[in-house]
């Protein structure tokens, strides 16, 4: 069965670009603490913060799942703990210094219990993410999978979060990307830079992938 | 649903470098550990560890060299991934050099990529990267990609980072890729090289010590950190080569506690069990053996032991970490290899600390002989930081 890209839709997609500061860490927008619980934030790495922020506008349910596909997992978290080992390492710091900190922090912060997966796949993240979403949805009927797609770009760390669901008739609802609502973040316009190339690439990859993912 | 079987195994640890030597070591009730000095400033005291000797890693290098796959700058995790995955293929009697494996997925679980590179960097044994984004030098996906390249796979190659549950998550994804028709077979497993960061991190939790781990013992206190790798070949039953498969994959389940970054939560772990029971169609009283996650920590064993007491009145509980140490991202895959070997040989190694001490929980005494019932079911538990739970259930090949 081949379905044209025009027939595909996804309920929701959010993305944001977080420019690196001089220390090389992604800068968070001004309303970060309004969107993300600041408790324990000093132990989070930039990727985890970005995930929590971009995903904050989604209405996640307990049975849903989180899948992250990217070139590298939460390596910054590991490096932060390495650095702390030379001074005063803490159990709290070690607890979140894992390569899966981005997804598990979302699980814990949002009460998402369906599962989580953090996958390193180099440059094939988007296609792989859709395959994994299909597996998760088929093994967890009636739930949503939140795909987290981080990308390390010249301007900073870019994170897209896509909500993927299965339609009532069993057919997939696929992405029709919607821009992040930058109007809600007017105090930090420099933080959210339009990246049409990224969106175009994502759109074209997903469109090309659609017949494969939808299968027969 | 298509019947999936495990047809080949590969393993490397401090104590063994193939399934046969591992099983002899475990059945003999041995425990090979050493005292390890953490090299970071925060952790100067020696603690018991199960770190692979350099001679063991050299064996993996020779294995790869004999197959013209050894590169001058192989990172250890990448090398171990190649070793266990190719060993598993050869154990399954699959001629990976000549057979078309373009539709074979490679799914490898891992906790910390390139740990020894990081350790060497921290010890100033290699130049520190000047780029502020040091992590750009790391490509953890190379673990799976190296295997894919070696066998000529076009299928997905994934490195999964789901802490200590990674191997069972890899099994779930490998099975899913076959079930969806995306690939015809999958090599799944877990690999983790020893990390001073992990070692020091567990020291901050106060769970490292001068005594090895004692899973489910009333005197349990410590976790024994180790390293290594394990892999399995997952195929449709009709596609298997000459030898008899080890076991049939009955079901895999995973979820997340969504409660605490380190400690297990009873409700979440029980929920994962319930998903497994539902997917498999089996009641826990039908399950004969459980390869427990059994880290020996107070927190893990309290939750896991309580679930065994409440729901598994007749299952024999075995904790491999008392003999191999906790292999971190490879722990679940090690449990899977042990589960397969128990299913094939119908034997179960002794729980070391059940000889002189009773379990802290009301668990049945472990037997050494499992009988020849075709209904034997073996469960493999794995739980990790971040509330990650993943459990696999194996059955006999019919």
pLDDT range class, residue A136, cuts 50, 70, 90: very high
Q: In what order do the strands lie in the sheet with B225-226?
A: B34-37, B46-50, B225-226
CB-hemisphere CA count at 13 Å for A178?
10
Q: How many domains does chain A have?
A: 1
Return d(Cα A25, Cα B132) in angstroms, integer: 9
- Residue B238 φ/ψ region, left for φ over 0, alpha for ψ in the -120 to 50 degree band, beta for the rest: alpha
B201/A89 CB distance under 8 A = yes
Beta bridge partners of A17: A158
To the nearest whole Å, the CA of B41 is away from the closest chain A CA by: 5
- The answer to whether residue B217 neighbours chain A at the CB level (below 8 Å) is no
- The answer to whether residue B386 neighbours chain A at the CB level (below 8 Å) is yes
pLDDT at B127: 65
DSSP A28: P
SS3 content of chain A, % helix, strand, coil (to 5): 40, 20, 40
To the nearest whole Å, the CA of A161 is away from the closest chain B CA by: 19
Tell me, yes or no, whether A126 lies in a domain: yes
Tell me, yes or no, whether A216 lies in a domain: no
A95/B385 CB distance under 8 A = yes
Beta bridge partners of B107: B158, B188
B363 Cβ contact partners less than 8 Å away, ≥ 6 residues apart: B216, B305, B308, B309, B317
Average pLDDT by consecutive 10-residue portion of chain B (398 residues)?
Answer: 90 98 96 87 84 95 96 86 98 96 96 81 67 56 93 92 98 95 94 91 91 91 96 96 89 97 96 98 97 95 95 94 97 98 96 68 79 96 97 95
DSSP B85: H
- Can you tell me the mean pLDDT for A134-146? 88
- Residue B321 φ/ψ region, left for φ over 0, alpha for ψ in the -120 to 50 degree band, beta for the rest: alpha
CA A34 to chain centre: 19
To the nearest whole Å, the CA of B129 is away from the closest chain A CA by: 12
What are residue A27's phi and psi, to 5 degrees? Answer: -85, 135
Residue that the structure tokens 């939560």 belong to = B265
Which of B133, B175, B384 is the best residue to mutate to test the A interface, defined by the most A CB atoms within 10 Å of its own CB? Answer: B133
ipTM of the complex: 0.94
Domain coordinates in residue numbering, chain B: 4-239, 247-395
Under DSSP, is residue A151 helix (H, G, I), strand (E, B) or coil?
Answer: strand
- The answer to whether residue B261 neighbours chain A at the CB level (below 8 Å) is yes
Return d(Cα B325, Cα B206) in angstroms, integer: 17
pTM of the model: 0.91
B273 Cβ contact partners less than 8 Å away, ≥ 6 residues apart: B253, B284, B307, B311, B391
Which of A104, A123, A142 is the best residue to mutate to test the B interface, defined by the most B CB atoms within 10 Å of its own CB? Answer: A104
pLDDT at A11: 54
CATH code for position A171: 3.40.47
Comparing CA positions, the residue from B392, B396, B27, B106 lying closest to residue B246 is B396
Q: What range does the domain containing A183 cover?
A: 5-210
Fold for domain B247-395?
Answer: Peroxisomal Thiolase; Chain A, domain 1 (3.40.47)
To the nearest whole Å, the CA of B135 is away from the closest chain A CA by: 6
pLDDT range class, residue A138, cuts 50, 70, 90: confident
B197/A81 CB distance under 8 A = yes
Return d(Cα B107, Cα A99) in angstroms, integer: 16
A79/B135 CB distance under 8 A = yes
Between residues A203 and B340, which one has the greater pLDDT? Answer: B340
Q: Please, are residues A159 and A15 in contact by the beta-carbon 8 Å criterion? A: yes
* Residues 118-177 of chain A whose Cβ lies under 8 A from any Cβ of chain B: 118-122, 124, 128, 131-132, 134-135, 138-139, 152
Range from A97-106, A146-155, B223-232, B271-280 carrying the lowest mean pLDDT: A146-155
Tell me, yes or no, whether A46 lies in a domain: yes
pLDDT at A110: 97
DSSP, residue by residue, B275-343: HHHHHHT--GGG--EEE------HHHHHHHHHHHHHH-SSPEEE-THHHH-B-GGGHHHHHHHHHHHHH
Return d(Cα B309, Cα B315) in angstroms, integer: 10
- The answer to whether residue B201 neighbours chain A at the CB level (below 8 Å) is yes
* Residues 35-94 of chain A whose Cβ lies under 8 A from any Cβ of chain B: 62, 71-76, 78-79, 81-82, 84-91, 93-94
The two domains B4-239 and B247-395 share their CATH topology (first three levels equal): yes
Supply B323's token pair: 């003999």
Q: Please, are residues B47 and B38 in contact by the beta-carbon 8 Å criterion? A: yes
Provide CATH code, domain B4-239.
Answer: 3.40.47.10
pLDDT at A205: 53
- Can you tell me the mean pLDDT for A137-152? 88
To the nearest whole Å, the CA of B299 is away from the closest chain A CA by: 14
pLDDT at A76: 86
Q: Please, are residues A85 and B200 in contact by the beta-carbon 8 Å criterion? A: yes
pLDDT at B129: 56
- Residue B68 φ/ψ region, left for φ over 0, alpha for ψ in the -120 to 50 degree band, beta for the rest: left
Nearest-by-Cβ selection for B388 from A79, A111, A116: A116
A135/B180 CB distance under 8 A = yes
pLDDT at A156: 83
* Residues 123-142 of chain B whose Cβ lies under 8 A from any Cβ of chain A: 132-136, 138-141
Return d(Cα B145, Cα B132) in angstroms, integer: 26
């Amino acid at each position: 069965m081949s379905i044209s890209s025009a027939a595909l839709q996804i309920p929701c997609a959010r993305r944001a670009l977080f420019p690196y500061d001089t220390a090389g860490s992604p800068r968070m927008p001004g309303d970060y603490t309004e969107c993300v619980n600041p408790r324990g934030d000093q132990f989070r790495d930039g990727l985890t913060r970005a995930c929590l922020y971009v995903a904050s506008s989604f209405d996640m349910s307990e049975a849903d799942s989180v899948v992250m596909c990217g070139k590298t997992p939460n390596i910054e978290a590991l490096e932060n703990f390495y650095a702390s080992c030379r001074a005063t390492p803490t159990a709290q710091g070690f607890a979140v210094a894992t390569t899966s900190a981005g997804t598990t922090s979302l699980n814990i912060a949002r009460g998402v219990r369906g599962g989580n997966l953090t996958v390193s796949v180099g440059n094939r993240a988007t296609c792989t993410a859709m395959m994994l979403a299909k597996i998760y949805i088929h093994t967890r009927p009636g739930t949503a999978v939140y795909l987290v797609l981080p990308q390390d770009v010249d301007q900073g760390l870019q994170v897209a979060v896509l909500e993927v669901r299965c339609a009532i008739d069993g057919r997939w609802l696929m992405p029709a990307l919607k821009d992040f609502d930058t109007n809600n973040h007017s105090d930090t316009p420099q933080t959210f830079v339009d990246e049409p190339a990224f969106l175009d690439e994502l759109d074209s990859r997903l469109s090309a992938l659609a017949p494969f993912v939808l299968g027969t | 649903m298509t019947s999936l079987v495990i047809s080949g195994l590969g393993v490397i640890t401090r104590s063994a470098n193939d399934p046969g030597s591992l099983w002899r070591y475990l059945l003999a009730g041995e425990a090979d550990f050493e005292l390890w000095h953490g090299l970071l400033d925060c952790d100067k005291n020696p603690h018991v560890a199960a770190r692979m000797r350099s001679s063991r890693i050299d064996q993996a290098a020779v294995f790869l060299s004999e197959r013209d796959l050894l590169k001058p700058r192989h990172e250890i995790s990448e090398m171990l991934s190649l070793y266990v995955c190719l060993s598993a293929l050869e154990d399954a009697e699959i001629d990976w050099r000549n057979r078309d494996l373009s539709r074979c997925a490679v799914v490898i679980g891992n906790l910390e990529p390139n740990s020894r590179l990081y350790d060497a960097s921290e010890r100033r044994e290699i130049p520190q990267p000047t780029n502020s984004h040091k992590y750009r030098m790391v490509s953890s996906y190379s673990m799976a990609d190296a295997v894919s390249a070696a066998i000529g796979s076009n299928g997905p190659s994934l490195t999964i980072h789901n802490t200590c549950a990674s191997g069972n998550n890899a099994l779930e994804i490998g099975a899913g890729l076959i079930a969806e028709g995306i690939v015809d077979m999958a090599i799944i497993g877990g690999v983790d090289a020893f990390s001073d960061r992990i070692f020091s991190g567990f020291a901050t939790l106060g769970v490292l010590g001068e005594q090895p781990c004692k899973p489910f013992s009333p005197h349990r206190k410590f976790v024994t950190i180790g390293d290594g790798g394990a892999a399995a070949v997952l195929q449709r039953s009709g596609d298997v080569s000459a030898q008899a498969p080890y076991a049939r994959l009955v079901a895999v389940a995973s979820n997340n506690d969504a409660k605490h970054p380190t400690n297990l939560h009873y409700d979440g772990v029980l929920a994962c069990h319930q998903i497994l029971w539902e997917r498999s169609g089996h009641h826990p009283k039908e399950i004969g053996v459980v390869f427990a996650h059994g880290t020996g920590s107070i927190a893990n064993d309290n939750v896991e032991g309580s679930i065994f007491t409440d729901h598994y009145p007749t299952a024999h509980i075995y904790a491999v970490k008392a003999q191999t140490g906790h292999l971190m991202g490879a722990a679940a895959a090690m449990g899977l290899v042990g589960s397969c070997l128990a299913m094939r040989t119908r034997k179960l190694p002794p729980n070391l600390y059940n000889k002189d001490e009773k379990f802290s929980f009301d668990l049945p005494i472990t037997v050494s002989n499992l009988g020849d019932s075709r209904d034997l079911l073996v469960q493999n538990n794995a739980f990790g930081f971040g509330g990650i739970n993943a459990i696999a259930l194996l059955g006999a090949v019919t």
